[in-house]
Structure formats: structure tokens, C-alpha cells
A and B are shown apart, each in its own frame.
Chain A
């Protein structure tokens, strides 16, 4: 858009620097349909299309597989089975060798890919895939987490226990005790752009793969593994994704590996794009949890002892279930101090698709367990759950140590909750709602204020590193590349803003280029909300290296002290002289100054010892709180969210517009998880909710009628993050726990608020109605 762009060398501030609400860098392309996703790329001549053949058993031995008719079908060029994988038939991101590209001999879930057809068109490949004749011998299976525990299934990875104090003694000592259980459903990512990969064969071992992935380095690694070639032969590129949400952290490996294998075997480009039903059947989801809790508390509602077991439906393989279930435990305290505590994970093997990362990465499932306990205590004591929350907040002498022995140093939840309580008029509205319910026979209302504290950093400490590549060209324009991937979260925009601020050049001078394993190697997944924290710091590091060389050059050339050389908006001051940035850069080029740098960053301070359950896994915490108000029809269980007020902490925001969008979007998505989105497996182990016809994500009309979203503009990260901002992707996902609890309160009104409805998630109208009936029967 800036063919003849001339930066203003007299400007007081740069255009599009840090802390401004500039639009997404691809905004114009998005609204004009010119943003290119992989399926929109012009296909090279001769491109073939792949389609997968899936198992129709939850657990079975394959006794025979006859693919002759598939091979003979019109247009078919190649049929791949597990035995055709040239390297190792495994794409386990955990390195456990438990996840084949194509199943061999045994299938472990309904919908597991067993063969792959490559044909002239997608349509022909799809038709041919239906012609396979596979015979199975059924084996025992369990698809549900509780059924898997009862059947004595293995864990898919080593469980974790976090301990502090003596929980048994604490429980025995406590004046009050409660035990309970909670079921929390999973969630499909439903990224609007499904998985897709296109592989283009090159010379020798080389292959270029375009993938819709949050983790190009892992795709590179897995493709190399499956092809039996070194990583240097595989180039992976990602321009953008049409949504990721964690669903594209590891789940693209299979598609990329198959496209690459077929492309190398046939020496033609191969593209694979599963249709929506297959995408939803084949790819992992958020883990469903079963939570057991045993809690001791005093008469004020202070939690004295907390013993929790968090069992997860992991699916047939480990994938990321280890770190996901770990993170559930890391968030089973939310904002609350437990004196004596024991938290245990049970990552259960189930005969379902292997569950994976999803925004929050187990954190939401841990946090919701803590909130259920608060709710139970409140109803038992006849108090507003908010009072119980406040009394249990971290803070004060000896009340700052988490169950994993990290000290909470940056606690601002008290101020967040206080301000939100005030701005949302919580107390008066709660009173009015209680009064309303007394005189309303059918419609009941509820309101709840819930807090969030979310730990920022990958708990796999080595993941907390990033690289960036910055070039400055002779005309003063810049090329920016970093290891993060753009999935709509505005990462590229924020990193470029940080770079613009650092160099003091207008945003428009920076070209953000597609993520490419050939430019920045050994990157981490764009996940754990860390994209900006890591990659912007790496980009700034690169900029500082270049600036240092420029300062050395100018200081010598103009014989001025280094401190008199200042980067000002689109210009550089050198002693008494001022040059435009472009002019200055050209001088540096002529003096043979290197104008390119590879930047690097690693998060300081963090360490974690899983064996002892002690350390500082998180660099810092992000906080937030929400108040939600709902109306429930007690005859049908239907409900609507009347109002939601949010106050969320993003530190000193790099881009308030993007951050606010993240908070709003996370709230809507989290609301879907807790209300309408229900995954349903039938008794044969087949996922029945594999399309939007049966799997209901929130619509525009489901949005809260009144929706007030505010960023805590006074907050600044106490740690030295990029311009004191905080990560934003995941933390707000847990704000809609307030919706679940507001529904719960509306239901509780039937029992005069004396019984906790113990509403499991998702609180579908059906489940709400069952809770209503339960309370009516109990009354």
C-alpha cells in the first residue's frame, strides 16, 4: 500500500510504535479477501491431492487390509500405508514413539488414519478412499476418563504430584470438610481454516512444506523424521493461519508428513486438506477432566487443606498431555492460598483421538476445580462466593507460596477485583437479583464474579527461547522475520511495533515476512501466550545489535561521543547533525557496516524441577476478573448471558486494540467451552459431534447483551518484559467461569441458595435443566 512511502523525518513520534492501537498488519488484505491462506495459493502444475482412510473401530487388531480397489480407482497415483513411511512411522511430539503417521496392525481410536490415497483431484482421492476393505478383530476399549480408570488403563505419560505441608493432617484438623467431584468437558478448536499442508519436492533430499501450523520447527523435525532425512533438508513456511488456538501446535504433523512423503515419492507437489468432519475426527482437542476434591476449611470459609486429583482424557497417545495435565495442577490454586495441599494428575490413556493443546493448556481445567470448591464452601456457609474468594486470595505474611513452591510476587488480584466490583455495581446488582428471584417463578437470574491468575512461561523451560532475523536495507526499509506464527492474535503487528519503536522508524517501513525454518531455526511453538514476550524481545535484540554497530560507525566517522547519537522518529541525530534514517543507513552501508542481525532471547529467572515439584516455572502472572449475569428458564434449562463486565491485566499494553480483541474473543470462546460446546462419543467410540451442525460454538447472538471490557491501564509488568507488557492469549479464556457460576447461582435460587448445584461443564440447557430438577427434588 506504500509504493511511494516517505516517512516524516520531522515527526514527534513514529507512526505505529509501541503502546498504540494500530490495526492488524494484514487488515486491508483481510477485508478485501487478498490475505492468502494455504488453500488460496496458486497450485503448482501437476499438484496432486491426498485423502485419508480412517479406522472404524475404537480399538482393534487389523486382520486384513485390502486396498486393491483403492489403487485401481480412477485418478489414483499412490496409496500409502504405515509400511511406506521411508523414515520412522512416528510423529510423537513427546518423543515416546506412541503416535504413528499411519496405524499399522492395530488401531487405537475410531477415526485413526490407516492409509492415505493420492489422486489427481481431491474428489477422486476421496471417492477412492471409500473402496478400502479392512477387517478388524475388536479389542476392549474405554473412551471416557472414568471408564478408563475403572478399566485400569495406563497413564500416557508420568503423572505429577505437587505437595506442600501435610494435607492429611490439615484435612483431619480442619473444622469443616467437604468432598466432591466435577466433570469438565473438552472442546474442539474449530479453527475456521482447517488443517492443510502442501509439500513441494526439491533437489536431493529437499522438500518445502507449507503448513497451517503454530510450530514450524516441529513440522520440520517430524517431516525429517518421517522421511528419514536431516532437518536441514526440510523447509517449512507459514504465512498465516485461519485460527489455531493450540489445535495447530502438534496436530499438523501428520498432514505435513504425509504430504511430504507423497511429494517425495511421486516427485510432484502434494496437497492435503481434510474436510471438516475428518479434521474434527482425526485431530486432538481440549482434554476432558474428572476432578476429585477433598477440602478442609474454617467457619469463615478459609481453605486450610486441599487434596485434588485431576484425571484427564488424553486419548490414545501422550502428545502434549504431560505438560497439559501439569499445567492443570499449576492452576488448581487459581488466586488462592492453600495451607496444606496435595495435587495429583492422572493422564489417562483412552481410546479416543489424542488430546492436545488448547488455549489455556490444562490451566482452565485446573482453575475451574478451584472455583468449584469456592462455590461449594460458599453455599455450605450461606455466603456470597465472592466473599469466600477474597478471604482466600494470596497475600500477606506467609500466604504467598504456591503448591509448586513459587512465590507470588506480583499479585494485583485484590485491586482488580475491587475495581471491577465497583465499576460493575456488583453488590447492588446481586441484591436486586436475589430480590427478583423471590418473585419470579420461571425465570431465575444469577450473577458471579470470578478471578483469574495465569502463569506465563512454558513449563518446559527450554521452550522459553526465541530468535529473530532483522535486515535493514539501503533505502532504510526493514525486513522482519521471527520464529512466531500469526494465527490472528496480532503477533506480527506487535513484534513490528516493538521493532518500529526500537529503531524509531514508522511501522510502514517494516515488512513482516512469513515464518520460515530457513530464516530462524529451532523455534518454539507459538503457544503458552508467549509469542510476543519471546519474539518481540528477540527482534529488539537484533535491532540493538545493528544499532550498536551504527552508533560505533557514526561516533567514529563524525568524531562525536556515542551518547550524542540518538535515534529519533525516522531520523538519526549525530552530535549537531541530523540525517534521515535512510540517509544514515546508506552512509553506514558505504562504510561497510553489517546491517543485518540474528536476535535471540531467553526468559530469565525461570527454573522447574518436575521430580521434586519445586521451582519457579513462571516468569510472572497475568490477572483478570469478570462479572457475568445470566437469566435461566427453569422450565427448559435455556439461558442467556445478559451482561458481562471484564477488567483484565495485560501489563502496559503494546497494542490496546489487539489486546482488547484477545480478551473479548477469549471470553466468547471460553463461554462456548463452558456452555454450548459438547463433544459426544457414541458407545462404539465414534465422535458424533464432528461438524457445526451438532457441535455448537458461540454465535454473534450468544454474545453477552451488555459487554463491558476494560484493560487495567494502570498495570505494568514488574518484570522486564517487552515494554512492560504482559501476555494475553490464554489468561482471559478463564474469565467466563463467571458465566458458569452465574448459571449455577440462578439454579441455586431454587434451593434458596443452600445447595451448591454442582453444575458440570459444559452447562448445556439439558444439564442445567437436570440441575434444576435435582434441586427441586431435594427441596
Chain B
């Protein structure tokens, strides 16, 4: 059977014919749309390496069926930076040495962008750690990850004060 969906990924519209309704969003991104930045860690929704934003909300793309994404707006790690200019969360991850092997990093960053947008963590490291706990880092870079998320969160809050809109969603809103 074949099923067609239309979705926006990093601001670009894609029309995709799915020859198998069981294709996950993760496999769609990695294997069919040449977007391998989103990683496959456990393929069962327990490690967070495949985190992407769907309509601004963070999800495990390995547990989402591509077929259910018709009309969705998706942001992946490839869609955060503006050219050579890094998204504030990306810059904060480098600044705070928030990774080692880098394999969980795209998921961590997407999760952090989602978390900051949710506005649930504020400036509380405990909350950040709890709300980032769906993203496993086997290298154990949690110290840097927490600091990076806190700093990026603070910057987003400062920037949000005088402006309207939500700068921390990056290109997604464009």
C-alpha cells in the first residue's frame, strides 16, 4: 500500500509517498530524506538520541509513525543554526563542554530547545536535570549539559522580555 504525507521539515515542505505505513519518523528522516543528524540509539524510545520537535513539542522520533506526521512542522538538529550562526543552545553546548562522543548531542540539544520553550524548568538546575532525564548521555556529560541548558534558558528569557515571539524555537517558526 502507499500513503502520501506532506510535512514541513526545517522550514522546507516535503511531499512523501510512503510504501510502508510502519516507517517511523526517524527512519523517514535518516534513510529517505538524507537528514542523518538525528540519531538512532535504542530505537525504542528510551534513550532520547532521536529527539526532534514536532510542532514545537519534543518527541522521540523512533516511536512516531511518519504516517501520522501529515501537516506537521518538524525541526531537526540540521534546522537550528542560521548558516554559520549557531542557535544559542548549540553555542551553549560548546561553551560548557556538554558532550564527549557527540552521539546523543543532537537529541540533547533538541530536547533542550523544547524544554526551554516549555518554560517549565526556569533557572532551577534540579528541574533541568529532571526534565532532561529522557536523554541518556553514556559519556556522562550531564554537568555540562545542565549548565548549557541553564545558560541558554537564561539568555532566551532575557531576549524574550522586550520582544514578542519566541526566539528560542529557531528557524522552526519562520
Cβ < 8 Å to B, chain A residues 478-527: 487-490
* B132 sits at the interface (CB 8 A): yes
User: How far does the alpha carbon of A31 sit from the alpha carbon of B170 in the complex, in Å?
Assistant: 14
Contact A30 B99 (CB under 8 A): yes
Contact A242 B101 (CB under 8 A): yes
Contact B97 A692 (CB under 8 A): no
From A23, A243, A658, B138 is in contact (CB under 8 Å) with A243
Task: Please indicate the chain B residues that have their CB under 8 angstroms from the CB of A26 in the complex.
Answer: 102
Task: Please indicate the chain A residues that have their CB under 8 angstroms from the CB of B57 in the complex.
Answer: none
User: How far does the alpha carbon of A701 sit from the alpha carbon of B137 in the complex, in Å?
Assistant: 12
Contact B46 A243 (CB under 8 A): no
Task: Please indicate the chain B residues that have their CB under 8 angstroms from the CB of A657 in the complex.
Answer: 97
Contact A669 B105, CB 8 Å, known A31-B86, A33-B37, A700-B129: no
From A30, A245, A692, B102 is in contact (CB under 8 Å) with A30
* B126 sits at the interface (CB 8 A): yes
* A24 sits at the interface (CB 8 A): yes
Q: Which of A24, A189, A489 has most chain B Cβ within 10 Å?
A: A24
Contact A697 B97 (CB under 8 A): no
User: How far does the alpha carbon of A29 sit from the alpha carbon of B109 in the complex, in Å?
Assistant: 13
Cβ < 8 Å to B, chain A residues 163-205: 189-194
Task: Please indicate the chain A residues that have their CB under 8 angstroms from the CB of B169 in the complex.
Answer: none
Cβ < 8 Å to A, chain B residues 75-126: 76-78, 80-81, 84, 86, 90-91, 93-94, 97, 99-106, 109, 126
Contact A705 B126 (CB under 8 A): yes
Task: Please indicate the chain A residues that have their CB under 8 angstroms from the CB of B139 in the complex.
Answer: 243, 488, 661, 665, 669
* A318 sits at the interface (CB 8 A): no
Contact A665 B36 (CB under 8 A): no
Contact B39 A193 (CB under 8 A): yes
* A668 sits at the interface (CB 8 A): yes
Q: Which residue of B lies closest to A666 (CB)?
A: B140
Q: Which residue of A lies closest to B135 (CB)?
A: A700
Task: Please indicate the chain A residues that have their CB under 8 angstroms from the CB of B61 in the complex.
Answer: none
Contact A703 B143 (CB under 8 A): yes
Contact A707 B49, CB 8 Å, known A30-B105, A37-B103: no
User: How far does the alpha carbon of A32 sit from the alpha carbon of B10 in the complex, in Å?
Assistant: 13
Q: Which of A26, A32, A487 has most chain B Cβ within 10 Å?
A: A32
From B100, B130, B144, A489 is in contact (CB under 8 Å) with B100
Task: Please indicate the chain B residues that have their CB under 8 angstroms from the CB of A189 in the complex.
Answer: 138
Contact A23 B101 (CB under 8 A): no
Interface of A is mostly: loop
Min CB distance B38 to A, Å, is 7
Contact A192 B143 (CB under 8 A): no
Contact A33 B142 (CB under 8 A): no
* A563 sits at the interface (CB 8 A): no
Chain A interface size range: 35 or more
* B47 sits at the interface (CB 8 A): yes
Contact B138 A33 (CB under 8 A): no
* A28 sits at the interface (CB 8 A): yes
Contact A31 B109 (CB under 8 A): yes
* A240 sits at the interface (CB 8 A): yes
Min CB distance A394 to B, Å, is 29
Contact A691 B42, CB 8 Å, known A703-B142, A703-B143: yes
* B68 sits at the interface (CB 8 A): no
* B40 sits at the interface (CB 8 A): yes
Contact B126 A665 (CB under 8 A): no
Task: Please indicate the chain A residues that have their CB under 8 angstroms from the CB of B104 in the complex.
Answer: 192, 242
Over the window 129-165 of chain B, the binary record of Cβ atoms lying under 8 Å from chain A Cβ atoms (1 yes, 0 no) is: 1101101111111111110000000000000000000
User: How far does the alpha carbon of A699 sit from the alpha carbon of B104 in the complex, in Å?
Assistant: 12
Contact A697 B136 (CB under 8 A): yes
* A709 sits at the interface (CB 8 A): yes
Q: Which of B39, B81, B102, B146 has most chain A Cβ within 10 Å?
A: B102
Contact B99 A24 (CB under 8 A): yes
Q: List 22 A-B contacts (CB under 8 A).
A: A28-B86, A31-B86, A31-B99, A32-B77, A32-B90, A39-B40, A189-B138, A192-B101, A241-B101, A242-B101, A243-B100, A243-B139, A488-B139, A661-B139, A661-B144, A665-B100, A667-B140, A669-B139, A693-B46, A697-B138, A701-B129, A701-B133
Given contacts A242-B101, A242-B104, A488-B101, 17 further A-B contacts (CB under 8 A): A24-B97, A28-B94, A30-B102, A30-B105, A32-B78, A32-B81, A33-B76, A39-B36, A192-B104, A243-B101, A276-B41, A488-B100, A488-B103, A699-B136, A699-B142, A701-B129, A703-B129
**Nearest 7 interchain pairs by C-beta:** A33-B37, A488-B101, A242-B103, A668-B140, A33-B77, A665-B140, A30-B102
